[in-house]
C-alpha cells in the first residue's frame, strides 16, 4: 500500500520503481472520498490529476529530468488562484467564479511538476480562527470531530493532518497557518512578509497577508518554500533574496546552540491554558539544560497587539473587499428595480457572510474621518513600536519562542457567538504578521485532553533557513513520541 513520510522518501520510492505518481494520486483520491464528512475540500480535480500523474510517470520512466516537486500531491486554500479552476474564498459572493490566471506560487508549483489535487475549505475571505465562517460549512478536526481544526486555513490543515495530500498551502494574515497547524498537530509555517509573491492570493489585509505551508516535517516545508518563493514582477512588495542553501541536513547542524528569548508576560497570561503553560515552562528549562541560552524578557505590548491587528486588518479589508460589488464579477442581486446604490448594497449584503460584513463595517469605521487618528493612526504607531522593539530583541537573541495558541482546538460552536473572545485567542500569532518576521508552529506536545499543541518559533526577516534548522532540532530532539497517530 502507498505510504507517504516525506517528499524525499517519496522521490526515492519513485526512482526505485516502488511506487508511481498514479498510485499516489489514486491513494489520495480514495482517502478524500472516504473522509468527505471532514469537509476539507471544496473542489477536487480527480480526472486531470490522474492524467498529470500518468504523464509524469511516463516522463520519469523515459529518463526525463524530474522537477523538485515531481508528483508531489498538494492541496491549496480556496483563496489561491489556479487558472481555469473555481476560486471562491469560501464566500457566497464568489460562487461560480473561475480563475483566469495562476497565482505565482501555483505557477512555480506546476513548473516543478507538483500535482494540485484540489482547493481547500477556509473561513470566508480568510477571516476567522475556526473555519466556521465558510459558505461550505464547518471543517472537522480529524483527531476529534467535535472540535474545530482552527482557521482560517482549516481545510488546508485537515488535508495534511488526515493524510489527504502530502503538503498544502494556506494563507496567514494573523496566524491562519500556524494556529490550525497547532490545533491539528502538524507543522505550519508563515514566511517573512515579501518572501512569497502575493500575486493571485485573494487579498484580505495586504500588508499582512502571506502564503504559508502545511506539512508533517521541516524538510518538506523547506523544499516547497524553495520552489514557491522565486522572483516575481507582479508583486511590488516581493523581495528577492536567493536562498543560501536550500538543503536541510540535520547532521550538519544538530549540535548548534541558540540564543532564545521568550516573553514572560506571554507565559503568565491569564488566557493561557495552565497545562500548556506548565509544559512550555518545563520545555524551556530543558532547552537551557541542554546548552541553549534561554532568557525570559519583558514585553510590555502584549495587550496592544490584538487590537492593533484588528484595527489595521479590518481597515485594509474594507478597502480590499470593495471590489466585490456585484458588477464586475461574483454574486449580483437579481432585483432589476434597484438604483445603483441599492443594487450594490443588496448584492453585498446577500453575497457576504456575517463575519466579513462585521469586519468591513469595523474597517470603514476606523478609517472614517472622525475616528481615523484615534484608531488607524494609533494602531500604525503601535505597529511601528513593535517593529522597533523587535529589532532590539534580535540584537541580543536569535530566536523568539511563544505559544502558538492559548488553548487546544475549541469545540465546534464554542466561540462563534463571541467574536471578542475569538479575536483574543489570536494573541500569540498576530505579532509575527504585524512585524513581518517568519514564524513556524511545531507540533511538539500533547494535552491531557487528547489534543496536540505546539510551540511557535520566530526569527529575523528572511532568515528562514536558520528557523528551519532550529525547527528541525526541536522536532528531532523534543517531539513527544506519543503524538497522536494520524
Ligand atoms: N484569526 C485571524 C483573523 O481572523 C487570522 C486570519 C488569517 O491569518 N487569515 O483575522
Q: Residue 243: what pLDDT?
A: 63
Catalytic residue among 68, 77, 190, 195: 77
Q: Which domain holds residue 139?
A: 7-228
The verdict on residue 141 lying in a domain is: yes
Cα distance between residue 326 and residue 328, in whole Å: 6
Check if 77 is active-site. Answer: yes
The alpha carbon of 16 and the centre of ligand 1 are apart by a number of angstroms equal to: 43
For the record, the C-alpha cell of 290 comes out as 541542554
| Cα(174)–Cα(152) distance, integer angstroms | 9
432 Cβ neighbours under 8 A, 6+ residues apart? 178, 190, 438, 439, 456, 458
Give the Å distance between the CA of 205 and the centre of ligand 1: 10
Nearest atom, ligand 1, residue 173 CA: 8
Task: Write the DSSP symbol of residue 244.
Answer: S
Within-domain flag for 304: no
Predicted local distance difference test score (pLDDT) of residue 1:
84
* Cell triple for 180: 490550525
Atom of ligand 1 nearest to the CA of 126: 9
| pLDDT means over runs of 10, the chain (486 residues) | 95 98 98 98 98 98 97 98 98 95 98 98 98 98 98 98 98 98 98 96 98 98 94 81 74 96 95 97 98 96 96 98 89 92 95 97 97 97 98 98 98 94 95 98 97 97 95 95 55
Q: Which of 91, 129, 152, 156 is catalytic?
A: 152
Phi, psi of 173, deg, nearest 5: -105, -30
Is residue 190 part of the annotated active site? The answer reads no
Asked if 108 contacts 221 with a C-beta cutoff of 8 angstroms, the reply is no
Distance in Å, CA 126 to ligand 1 centroid: 6
Closest approach atom of ligand 1 to CA 179:
1
Backbone angles phi, psi at 201, to 5 degrees: -100, 120
- CB burial string 166-198: b at 16+ within 10 A, e below: bbbbbbbbbbbbbbbbbbbbbbbbbbbbbbbbb
Query: How far is residue 59's CA from residue 65's CA, in Å, rounded to a whole number?
Result: 8
Q: In sequence order, what are the residues at sequence separation of 6 or more whose Cβ sits closer than 8 angstroms to the Cβ of residue 313? A: 173, 174, 204, 205, 208, 359, 363
Instruction: Read off φ and ψ for residue 318, nearest 5 degrees.
Output: -65, -30
What cell numbers appear for 233 in the block? 514582477
Atom 10 of ligand 1: nearest residue by CA position: 127
The ligand 1 atom nearest the CA atom of 177: 8
- CA 339 to chain centroid, in Å, comes to 40
Q: How far is the CA of 127 from the centre of ligand 1 (A)?
A: 5
User: Is residue 120 domain-resident?
Assistant: yes
Q: What is the pLDDT of residues 465-482, one digit of tens each?
A: 999 999 999 999 999 865
Counting other chains too, the contacts that 64-67 makes at CB distance below 8 Å and 24 or more residues apart are: 66/11, 66/14, 66/113, 67/111, 67/112, 67/113, 67/114
Q: Which of 121, 310, 313, 363 to mutate to test the pocket of ligand 1 (most atoms within 8 A of CB)?
A: 313
How far is the centre of ligand 1, averaged over its atoms, from the C-alpha of 368 (Å)?
Answer: 23
Could you identify the atom of ligand 1 that is nearest to the CA of residue 205? Answer: 9
Longest dimension (CA), the chain: 73
Strands, E assignment, 109-251: 115-120, 167-172, 187-190, 210-215
In a domain, 64, yes or no: yes
The answer to whether 320 and 204 are in contact (CB under 8 A) is: yes
Helix (H, G, I), strand (E, B) or coil at 50: helix
What's the gap between Cα 316 and its chain centre? 19
Q: What gap in Å lies between CA 26 and CA 49, rounded to an integer?
A: 9
Q: Which atom of ligand 1 is nearest to the CA of 127?
A: 4
Cα gap 320→324, rounded to integer Å: 9
Is 6 an annotated catalytic residue?
A: no
Mutate to test the pocket of ligand 1, among 169, 172, 173, 182 (most ligand atoms within 8 A of CB): 173
Helix (H) / strand (E) containing 75? strand 73-77
Q: Tell me the β-bridge partners of 400.
A: 261, 458
Strand partners, 260: 294, 399
In a domain, 333, yes or no: no
User: Rounded to an integer, what distance in angstroms lies between the CA atom of residue 465 and that of residue 246?
Assistant: 7
471: in domain: no
pTM above 0.95, yes or no: yes
Q: Give the chain's domain count.
A: 1
Output the ligand 1 site: residues, CB below 6 A: 126-129, 152, 171-176, 204, 313, 426
Q: Which helix (H) or strand (E) holds 444?
A: strand 439-446
Residue 244 is predicted with a pLDDT of 58
Dist. CA 358–CA 250, nearest whole Å: 46
Domain at 123, CATH number: 3.90.1300.10
Question: What is the 235 CA–ligand 1 centroid distance (Å)?
Answer: 22
Write down the pLDDT at residue 485: 47
Give the CA distances from residue 36 to residues 28, 126, 146, 300, 419, in Å, rounded to whole numbers and listed in that order: 12, 22, 15, 45, 28
Q: What is the pLDDT of residues 130-187, one digit of tens each?
A: 999 999 999 999 999 999 999 999 999 999 999 999 999 999 999 999 999 999 999 9
CA distance 214 to 167: 6
Cα–Cα dist 465/133, whole Å: 34
Pocket-testing residue among 78, 128, 436, ligand 1, by greatest number of atoms within 8 A of Cβ = 128
Q: Cα(168) to centroid of ligand 1, in Å?
A: 18
Backbone angles phi, psi at 45, to 5 degrees: -105, 65
Among the options 176, 317, 347, 471, which is catalytic? 176
**Domain-embedded: residue 90:** yes
- Nearby residues of 127 by Cβ (< 8 Å), 6 or more positions away: 133, 152, 204, 317, 355, 356, 359
In a domain? residue 258: no
Amino acid at each position: 500500500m502507498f505510504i507517504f513520510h516525506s517528499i524525499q522518501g517519496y522521490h526515492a520510492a519513485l526512482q526505485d520503481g516502488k511506487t508511481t505518481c498514479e498510485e499516489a494520486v489514486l491513494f489520495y483520491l480514495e482517502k478524500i472520498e472516504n473522509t468527505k464528512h471532514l469537509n476539507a475540500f471544496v473542489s477536487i480535480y480527480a480526472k486531470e490529476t490522474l492524467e498529470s500523474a500518468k504523464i509524469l510517470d511516463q516522463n520519469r520512466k523515459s529518463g526525463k529530468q524530474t522537477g523538485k516537486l515531481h508528483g508531489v500531491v498538494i492541496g491549496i486554500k480556496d483563496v489561491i488562484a489556479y487558472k481555469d479552476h473555481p476560486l471562491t474564498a469560501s464566500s457566497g459572493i464568489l460562487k461560480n467564479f473561475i480563475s483566469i490566471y495562476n497565482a505565482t506560487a501555483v505557477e512555480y508549483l506546476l513548473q516543478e511538476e507538483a500535482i494540485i489535487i484540489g482547493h481547500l475549505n477556509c473561513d470566508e475571505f480568510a477571516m476567522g480562527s475556526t473555519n466556521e465562517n465558510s459558505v461550505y460549512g464547518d471543517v472537522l478536526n480529524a483527531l476529534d470531530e467535535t472540535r474545530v481544526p482552527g482557521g482560517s486555513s482549516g481545510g488546508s490543515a485537515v488535508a495534511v493532518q488526515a493524510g489527504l495530500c502530502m503538503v498544502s498551502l494556506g494563507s496567514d494574515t494573523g496566524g491562519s497557518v500556524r494556529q490550525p497547524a497547532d490545533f491539528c498537530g502538524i507543522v505550519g509555517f508563515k514566511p517573512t512578509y515579501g518572501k512569497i509573491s502575493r500575486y493571485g492570493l485573494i487579498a484580505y489585509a495586504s500588508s499582512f497577508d502571506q502564503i504559508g505551508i502545511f506539512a508533517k516535517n521541516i524538510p518538506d516545508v523547506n523544499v516547497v518554500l524553495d520552489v514557491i518563493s522565486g522572483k516575481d514582477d507582479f508583486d511590488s512588495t516581493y523581495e528577492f533574496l536567493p536562498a543560501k542553501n536550500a538543503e536541510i541536513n540535520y547532521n550538519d547542524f544538530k549540535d548548534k546552540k541558540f540564543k532564545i528569548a521568550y516573553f514572560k508576560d506571554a507565559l503568565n497570561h491569564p488566557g493561557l491554558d495552565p497545562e500548556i503553560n506548565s509544559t512550555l515552562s518545563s520545555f524551556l528549562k530543558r532547552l537551557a539544560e541542554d546548552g541553549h541560552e534561554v532568557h525570559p524578557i519583558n514585553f510590555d505590548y502584549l495587550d496592544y497587539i490584538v487590537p492593533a491587528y484588528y484595527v489595521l486588518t479590518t481597515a485594509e479589508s474594507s478597502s480590499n473587499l470593495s471590489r466585490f460589488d456585484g458588477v464586475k464579477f461574483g454574486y449580483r442581486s437579481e432585483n432589476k428595480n434597484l438604483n445603483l446604490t441599492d443594487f450594490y448594497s443588496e448584492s453585498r449584503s446577500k453575497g457576504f457572510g456575517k463575519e466579513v460584513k462585521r469586519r468591513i463595517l469595523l474597517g470603514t469605521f476606523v478609517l472614517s474621518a472622525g475616528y481615523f487618528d484615534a484608531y488607524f493612526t494609533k494602531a500604525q504607531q503601535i505597529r511601528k513600536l513593535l517593529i522597533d522593539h523587535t529589532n532590539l530583541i534580535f540584537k541580543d537573541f536569535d530566536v523568539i519562542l511563544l505559544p502558538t495558541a492559548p488553548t487546544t482546538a475549541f469545540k465546534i460552536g464554542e466561540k462563534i457567538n463571541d467574536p471578542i473572545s475569538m479575536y483574543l485567542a489570536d494573541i500569540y500569532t498576530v505579532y509575527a504578521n504585524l512585524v513581518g518576521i517568519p514564524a513556524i508552529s511545531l507540533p511538539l506536545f500533547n494535552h491531557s485532553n487528547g489534543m496536540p499543541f505546539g510551540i511557535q518559533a520566530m526569527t529575523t526577516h528572511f532568515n528562514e533557513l536558520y528557523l528551519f534548522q532550529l525547527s528541525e532540532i526541536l522536532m528531532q530532539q523534543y517531539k513527544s513520541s506519543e503524538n497522536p497517530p494520524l
